[in-house]
Amino acid sequence: MQKPRGTEDLFELKARDFFALEMIIRHVVDLYNYKEIRTPIFEMAELFKKSAGVNTDVVAKEMYIFNDKKNREFALRPEGTAPVVRAVLENKLYIEEKLPLKLFYFGQMFRYERPQNGRKRQFYQFGVELIGPDSIEADTEILCLAVNVLNSLGLQNYKVYINYLVIKEAREKYILDLKKQLSNLKLCDDCNLRIISNPLRILDCKIDQHKFNDLINMKEYLTNEQKQYYLNLIKSLNNLEIKVIEDNLLVRGLDYYTGFVFEIKDENGITLVGGGRYNNLVGELGGNNLPACGFAFGVERLITALENKKISISQLAYLDAYILAISERAKTFSSILLLMLRSAGFRTDYNFMNKNIKSAFKYSEKLNAKNIIIIGDKELNEGIVIIKEQDKKNEIKVKFEEIVTHISRSGEK
């Protein structure tokens, strides 16, 4: 039996890294006063069709869809924004007194993509959604938070790409002009389909993108008000020393965006986070219109970026004490000792596999145990244990009542 393609088993250091990363991120979002929301891992497939859009790759090609016993169509969630908006509407979280809603989530998403570096079929996203305000301050907060997460992790060599999407009537005019220009270019098979179904998506094409440098800039289709907003947003970010690169080909892979969009890439060009403003989604999913913006990080991509930079975010794994009982009576006593040390806050483990002394010593070295506590009948009778202090290569006798103090002193040195 093997794991499904594009998935990963997490254990040992990687599991610790995931945990450590989540803790750091939780700390940062807490500073910005975001509250956690957990939504189901599967939803009605219709939710994603209506939100992300039926002509996007995420919905048309990558969704894990299944029918339940009552033949209803469900999908494993490919992203977190639509489920959050669904939950906000269903639980009536949108009432005036509760606004703005500042929500964050951390969980698995599923996309049937061709597995490769940074592209998995099951991956974790950490995302935030800021629902209620429609302002430069809100957009600034979102981007600032994304950058803050990266800085807190020690990932500094990133680039922030930003764009402002044309919307409403202007989009139709822009798309018409875009199509005219694209008809002069030789496009890949996918783009030839997209030109009919969803021309904006073409700009995102990894194969053809290099041909698009001379295409009309969508910025020219913005209203004066939108242009001013975009300018002020960039200014506001610059004031916070967040340098942004304007990228008029940045369209994002989901249809719900309605204005400012952004992506942050690491030095290898891998997109770590993407997001933007989506002012119509709440209305499109059945609520009164409520503006919103947000982003999501790919957690595995963050971990890889940290590995590439040799940044270790989880503490070096170690044990404060490893207990080795060498008689039947000592084994009984060990349970008490384990409880005592763990209650005092020490990471402690025990020779559960009954390894002989030599193998147990070797094993404790692998666990990076600072102290090995040895007890046999002789020690029990004397009311002591033997502690082998690994870093000092020292062996001392310690009275039962002094074990905790001794272990805590060894941690200080």
Q: Which residues bind ligand HAM (CB under 6 A)?
A: 79-81, 111, 113, 118-120, 123, 125, 127, 129, 253-254, 271-276, 278, 294-298, 300-301
Give whichever of 265 and 388 is closer to ligand HAM, judged by the CB atom.
265
Cα–Cα distance for residue pair 281/387, rounded to 1 Å: 63
- Give which of 294, 25, 296 is closest to 141, Cα–Cα: 294
Residue 131 or 222 with smaller CB distance to ligand HAM: 131
Q: Shortest distance, CB of residue 397 to ligand HAM, whole angstroms?
A: 54
* 8 Å CB contact between 247 and 219: no
Q: How far is the CB of 57 from ligand HAM (least distance, A)?
A: 10
Nearer to ligand HAM, 64 or 400 (CB): 64
Output 57 or 379, the one with its CB closest to ligand HAM.
57
Separation CA 322–CA 43 (nearest Å): 46
The identity of residue 394, as a single letter, is N
Q: Do the strands 244-246 and 159-164 form a parallel or antiparallel pair, or are they unpaired?
A: parallel
Find the shortest distance in angstroms from Cβ 168 to ligand HAM: 19
How far, in Å, CA of 343 to CA of 349, rounded?
Answer: 13
CA 81-84-86 angle, to 5 degrees, is: 110
Q: Which is nearer to ligand HAM, 107 or 253 (CB)?
A: 253
Q: Least separation, in Å, of the C-beta of 125 and ligand HAM?
A: 5
C-alpha torsion angle, residues 336, 337, 339, 342 (rounded to 10): 180
CB of 256 to ligand HAM, least distance (A): 8
What minimum distance in Å lies between the beta carbon of 160 and ligand HAM? 13
Which C-beta is closer to ligand HAM: that of 294 or that of 348?
A: 294
- The CA distance from 261 to 278, in Å, is 9
Smallest separation, CB 406 to ligand HAM (Å): 47
Q: How far apart are CA 62 and CA 369, in angstroms?
A: 46
Enter the tokens of residue 304. Answer: 């890889």
| Least distance from ligand HAM to the Cβ atom of residue 302, Å | 8
- Cα 204 to Cα 257: distance, rounded to the nearest angstrom: 14
Asked if the peptide bond before residue 100 counts as cis, ω within 30 degrees of 0, the response is yes
CB closer to ligand HAM out of 81 and 410: 81
CA distance 63 to 47: 12
CB of 230 or CB of 346, closer to ligand HAM: 230
Per the listing, tokens 């950058």 go with: 147
Look at the alpha carbons of 52, 54, 59, 63 in this order and tell me if their dihedral is positive or negative.
positive
**End-to-end Cα separation, the chain, in angstroms:** 47
Q: Which is nearer to ligand HAM, 64 or 361 (CB)?
A: 64
Whether the CB-CB separation of 379 and 326 falls below 8 Å is answered with no
Q: Which residue number is nearest to ligand HAM in terms of Cβ?
A: 298
Could you tell me the smallest distance in angstroms from the CB atom of residue 354 to ligand HAM?
Answer: 43
- For β-strands 319-325 and 292-298, DSSP reports them as unpaired
Give the span between the Cα atoms of 338 and 325, in whole angstroms. Answer: 11
Smallest separation, CB 211 to ligand HAM (Å):
23
Residue 392: CB atoms within 10 A of its CB come to 11
Query: Which of 300, 320 has the CB closer to ligand HAM?
Result: 300
